[in-house]
Structure 1
Amino acid sequence: MTPRPQSRSSRNPSTTPLRAATDTETDGCSEDVRSCIPARALRRHQPRFPHPDAESGLESLLRLRLHLLGIRLDCHVDIAGVGRVDFVVGRRLILEVDGRENHAGVDRRHRDLMRDAAASARGFETLRFDYAMVVHEWPSVVAAIEQALLRAAH
């Protein structure tokens, strides 16, 4: 069996403190992203949202929403032959959150597909979600993740 990929951070992402967020221009989260968080959860996590090691508000949103569902993630994980991925769930499920600015264009799309193929060759399944899916089609995101986790359990 292949060893579990190692997270860049030695911190446990489920217990890492989050930074204070007071201004949507400086914290990287749009009001659209914040509006997706249940009011009770936002009040509870407001002083710690977005997460300090997230590269985008969208990553923070996905991480928080999955945390609220009880799904544990390893964040910014280095996988040999693939590179750094946004999240790993369990032993073999990669989640990538593709914002427009980092994944637009034919060259970047091709690079993402090459990384996905490399991950698959190493026994990983990759799920990619864009802004519209995480913000507006959340039930589809959850269903895809849940089904991938069920497949991995068998």
Structure 2
Amino acid sequence: MAVIARARALRKRLTPAEARLWGALRRLRAEGLHFRRQAPMRGYILDFVCIDRLLIVEVDGASHDCEDRQRKDRVRDAVLSREGFLTLRFSNLSVRDALDDVVQTVRDRCLARPTRLSLRASPPPRDGEGDIL
């Protein structure tokens, strides 16, 4: 439960860049793209995630510039990639200075990915299979 409690606390104190991006991502709901913020998953807390499109958006500050943090980020991204997630990373400066470009990139990448429903759909029947007699 510690991860869930931590995620709840982080939702209450988003960084300025996260708060700015959150406002913009919420507007994408009109296009059917629903994001969660500070979502716990596999022991990690994701800044933003669109579950239906298996897309994670991370906003990285200066703390992500150190080698140890970058290594941890790579491990985390690999773990989540094995489950089909794609992680997009943006710097705080990108969100601050080019928010429209960041949102457009997120939108384009989301819409280019299949939905979870289509990933679970049954494959089409082969010739002779599934015929009604």
- TM-score after normalising by structure 1: 0.59
Partners in 1 of 2:36 and 2:26 — Cα distance? 11
Partners in 1 of 2:21 and 2:28 — Cα distance? 11
Q: 1:77 aligns with which of 39, 46, 51?
A: 39
Say which SS state the counterpart of residue 153 (structure 1) adopts. Answer: coil
User: Does structure 1 conserve the Cα–Cα contact (< 8 Å) formed by 2:55 and 2:85?
Assistant: yes
Partners in 2 of 1:72 and 1:122 — Cα distance? 19
Matches within 5 A, 1:126-141: 126-141=87-102
Runs of 4+ with >6 A deviation: none
5+ long unaligned stretches in structure 2: 116-133
Partners in 2 of 1:74 and 1:107 — Cα distance? 27
Higher relative contact order (CA 8 A, sep 6+): 2
* Residue 69 of structure 1, CA deviation: 4.1
The yes-or-no answer on 1:61 pairing with 2:23 is no
Q: How many residues align?
A: 106
Partners in 1 of 2:112 and 2:51 — Cα distance? 12
Partners in 1 of 2:79 and 2:13 — Cα distance? 24
Identity of aligned residues (%): 30
1:84/1:104 CA distance change after superposition, 3 Å: same
Residue by residue, what CA displacement relative to the aligned partner does 1:8-43 show, whole Å, maximum 9, x if unpaired?
47xxxxxxxxxxxxxxxxxxxxxxxxxxxxxxxxxx
Higher helix share: 2
- TM-score after normalising by structure 2: 0.67
What letter matches 1:62 in structure 2?
L
Which protein shows a greater Rg? 2
What letter matches 1:89 in structure 2?
C
User: Does structure 2 conserve the Cα–Cα contact (< 8 Å) formed by 1:73 and 1:87?
Assistant: yes
User: CA-atom RMSD, angstroms?
Assistant: 2.5
User: Does structure 2 conserve the Cα–Cα contact (< 8 Å) formed by 1:95 and 1:126?
Assistant: yes
Residue by residue, what CA displacement relative to the aligned partner does 1:94-139 show, whole Å, maximum 9, x if unpaired?
1111111x31211111111111111111110101111121111223
1:148 paired residue number = 109
